[in-house]
Structure 1
Amino acid sequence: MSDLPVTTIVGAGAFVAGTLFGWTAQKTNFCTMGAVSDIVFMGDWRRFRAWMLALAVAVLGTQLLALSGLVAIGKSIYLTPNLGWAGAILGGLMFGFGMTMAGGCGNKTLVRIGGGNLKSVVVFLVLGFFSYMTLRGLIALARVELELLNLNLTSLGLASQGLPDILAKLSGMAPATARAALTGVIGGGLMVWCLRDAEFRASPRDVLGGLVIGLLVVAGWAVSGILGADEFDPAPVTSFTFVAPIGGAMQYLMSFTGATIDFGVAAVGGVILGSFLAAKASGSFQLESFTGADDMLRHMMGAALMGTGGVLAMGCTVGQGITGMSTLALSAPIALGSILFGGVVGMKYLEEGSLSAALKAVFARG
């Protein structure tokens, strides 16, 4: 065993994985908001299938780690018996709408910073400020009140909100059997759905992006769950998520007191570096700033919604949409569905000019 502290080992692993994440997202244009936008405005599903492929790979790999006993994903924040359904819905809607105003989700913000986008630097700062304020500041008071609506599943005889545990309880299956069955149905089903599309298969950039991002989420679980599994000083079991860690990164940059380079903070730095290296290598690095005051205000509003909503929902498009989903937690699809719906409403808001018109357009589209 190394004499290095566990946090240092996990942080180094997260930084390397984050660098690969940033490089891949920059080179393949992997982006949740962009994927939804392609569907809404062009009817192009390829980038969305790339995102779903990442999810499929993450589910299969993460559940394999769990079934093998290598990583105790049950210790993650996603699998507590406390189901925060209200935060998942409200926070997801806020985050989804906010990411359209800010030009991308938390991951895309980091990738755009690496590519030279100065607007995303402002989004980073505002998002981090509001995420930290929702975690430990003024907005935390409202968050605590919202958590009173949480459903404690222990009253139903469940030790966690994991879908395998719920299936095992309802069907009488052995927990491992239920986990394997759901992994095959969800992970395998999504992979088949992605790869059966000829246009998607003909886009190596999208296929590669989905495969690599999914594998990196699995690698994140391995880094924190295996390298961080010290008996006396264990690291939290986690993988990629980008809202609360941006707030943590800001805290670390401002003060060493009470702040550490944990998995999330290290991953944030890695994604920015990886994106920067990819942008410089391809010659696409270019400084970009706001076009005017309205552009800046819109980005700041979106960042505030993302910072607040991402904490309420316990994750972003990656944190809940891929990492949370990979644990098969019940809150993850609730948050993901809310994020996607909020994103569609946000896109229609930018197109129609008002929230009421946007909602009418969304529901009219059906």
Structure 2
Amino acid sequence: MDLLLLIETLADRLGEASLAALFGLATGVTFGIAAQRSRFCLRAATVEFARGQLGDRMAVWLLTFSTAVVWVQMAELSGLMHRADARMMAVPGSWSGAILGGLIFGVGMVLARGCSGRLLVLAATGNLRSVVSGLIFAVVAQMSLSGMLSPLRDTLAQLWVTTGGRNMDLLVEFGLPDWGGLALGLAIAAIALALSRHNQISAVRLVFASGVGFAVALGWVLTYGLSQVAFDPVQIESATFTGPSAHTLMFFLDRNAILDFDIGLVPGVFIGAMLAAWSAGEMKLQAFDDTATMRKAMIGAVLMGFGGMLAGGCAIGAGVTGGSIFVGTAWLALFFMWVGAMATDLLVDQRGAQLAT
């Protein structure tokens, strides 16, 4: 039985909405397990880089990013997905949103000591700091999507948008062949593996790091397959945490909310990370160290909620998921997340440490 036939059979039995949520759950559990065991974190990678290091966090991030590109591009070449049909590619993108939102998100990511995806993974291990920050992030994301912050977000996003009614496909824009994305992913993976060997990262951790990239590809393939057999339109999407966090929050607050991929994704990540931490004996309650740390984390969560929605995705959604299909604004947002995070580490954390001594 081929994949589309299997998905069609499941859709007939479970219903399209329930199956979409189930696909989100499967993607989330895979992501949560892999992210917890690999300690994948963009914030940690940017901090290492800002301090002139190419350590294990940088190696893990590069391997995750590159394997996401490899898996997704292989799926594209195999006909298991079509990136041009993905929602973030098929709608206009915002260059101004990517720049401003990326910068804001990067600042918030360092202040909160983790991106939105990392906060969700840590919350599942008993980190109460991440629980508080994650809830604030979700509320502000919802405010930025359709609440009191949405007019400001819309104004900033409309300053500079892509032309032609679609986002920019970087592979098409630069005239690369169909296999160009796969080749680039393999090249980055080779660099990541060399860096991993230099840092003596265990093979198990490398497998889990590549598992995060696989989870991104899994989401793309499953939602694309469902879109091909569903009667109603289905968004082709994968792992991201800005919009889904807001949607999940509203799902539990609105009795009329419906099931979709997002509603399965966020609980799935939490469940997967919790199972991984429990099996490894890493469940541990942790609270804020002091009021200064709490204040920074709360401010960071606010900035990530607004910045992620403005940028069109978080460090995972834009930085890995959007990057894996070569969405122009996603790559730009990722670049400015790095800029914002590195500048914040230099001006806040490193300078603060120097003043303390």
- The amino acid that maps onto 2:349 is L
Name the amino acid aligned to 2:337. Answer: I
Q: Is the 8 A contact 1:78 1:327 kept in 2?
A: no
Q: Is the 8 A contact 1:94 1:342 kept in 2?
A: yes
What is the DSSP-based 3-state SS (H/G/I as helix, E as strand, rest coil) of the residue aligned with 2:106?
Answer: helix
Secondary structure of the corresponding residue to residue 52 of structure 1: helix
Supply the distance in 1 between the matched residues of 2:30 and 2:180 (Cα, whole angstroms): 31
C-alpha contact (below 8 Å) 2:56/2:201 kept by paired residues: no
Matched, 1:234 2:230: no
Asked if 1 retains the 8 angstrom alpha-carbon contact of 2:143 and 2:149, the reply is yes
2:64 to 54, 58, 80: 54
Does 2:178 align with 1:179?
Answer: yes
Is the CA contact (8 Å cut-off) linking 1:6 and 1:230 kept in structure 2?
A: no
TM superposition outliers: structure 1 runs of 4+ over 4 Å? none
Please report how far the alpha carbon of residue 179 of structure 1 lies from its aligned counterpart in structure 2 after TM superposition: 2.9
- CA shift at 1:40, angstroms? 3.4
Offset of residue 96 of structure 1: 0.8
Query: How far off is 1:287 after superposition?
Result: 0.9
The equivalent of 1:362 in structure 2 is: none
Query: What's the offset of the Cα at 1:203?
Result: 3.0
Deviations 1:78-107 (A, max 9, x none): 213623111001101111110111120011
TM-score (norm 1): 0.87
State the match for 2:4 in structure 1.
Answer: none
Equivalent residue, structure 1, for 2:20: 10
Deviation by residue 1:227-250 (Cα, 9 ceiling, x = unmatched)? 343341232100000111111111
Q: Give the direction of change, closer, same or farther, for the CA distance of 1:128–1:81 in structure 2 (3 Å limit).
A: closer
Pairing 1:46-195 to 2, within 5 Å after superposition: 46-80=56-90, 82-154=92-164, 160-168=167-175, 178-184=177-183, 186-195=184-193
Q: Distance in 2 between matches of 1:47 and 1:204?
A: 14
Q: Does 1:217 align with 2:216?
A: yes
Q: How much has 1:5 moved relative to structure 2? A: 1.5
Amino acid across the alignment from 1:209: F
Amino acid at match of 2:114: G
Q: What RMSD over aligned residues (CA atoms) do the two structures have, in Å?
A: 2.1
- The match for 1:277 is 275
Match of 1:331 in 2: 329
Match of residue 262 from structure 1 = 260
Question: What is the deviation of 1:121?
Answer: 1.2
Alpha-carbon spacing, 1:296–1:201, altered in 2? closer, same or farther (3 Å): closer
Moved more, 101-110 or 77-86: 77-86
Q: Say whether residues 1:290 and 2:249 are aligned partners.
A: no
In 2, are the aligned partners of 1:88 and 1:314 still within 8 Å (CA)? yes
- Specify the SS of the correspondent of 2:19: helix
State whether residues 82 and 150 of structure 1, in contact with CA within 8 Å, keep that contact through their aligned partners in structure 2. no
- Equivalent position to 1:299, from 297, 300, 319: 297
Measured after TM superposition, the shift of residue 217 of structure 1 is 0.7
User: How far apart are 1:25 and its partner, in Å?
Assistant: 1.5
Displacement of 1:159 in angstroms is: 5.7
User: Could you tell me how far 1:41 is from its partner in structure 2?
Assistant: 4.0
AA matched with 2:313? G
Is contact 1:52-1:210 (8 Å) kept? no
For 2:313 and 2:166, how far apart are their aligned partners in 1? Answer: 22
> Which consecutive unaligned segments of at least 5 residues does structure 2 have?
1-8
Greater mean deviation of Cα atoms: 21-30 or 100-109: 21-30
Q: Under a length normalisation based on structure 2, what TM-score does the superposition of the two structures give?
A: 0.89
Contact 2:69 2:181 in 1 (8 A): no
| Equivalent residue, structure 1, for 2:308 | 310
Rounded Cα–Cα distance in structure 2 between residues aligned with 1:351 and 1:244: 32
Note if contact 1:30-1:209 (Cα within 8 Å) is conserved in structure 2: no
* Superposition deviation, residue 47 in structure 1: 1.9
SS at match of 2:158: helix
Unaligned runs of 5+ in 1: 169-176, 358-366
AA aligned opposite 1:318 = I
Q: Tell me by how many angstroms 1:35 deviates.
A: 2.1
- Structure 1 window deviating more from structure 2 (104-113 vs 6-15): it is 6-15
Following the alignment from structure 1 to structure 2, what is the Cα–Cα distance between the partners of residues 81 and 238?
Answer: 13
Cα deviation for residue 202 of structure 1 reads 4.5
State how far apart, in whole Å, the 1-side matches of 2:24 and 2:349 are: 36
Number of residues of Structure 1 aligned to a counterpart in Structure 2: 342
Counterpart in the other structure of 1:346: 344
Show CA shifts across 1:90-136 (max 9, x none).
10111111011112001111111111011111111110111111111
Native 8 Å contact 1:126 1:303 kept in 2:
yes
Deviation digits for residues 268-324 of structure 1 (CA, Å, limit 9, x no counterpart): 101111111122222211111123332222111000000000001111111111100
Distance change in 2, residues 1:137/1:352 (3 Å): same
Aligned to 1:36: 46
| AA at the equivalent of 1:94 | I
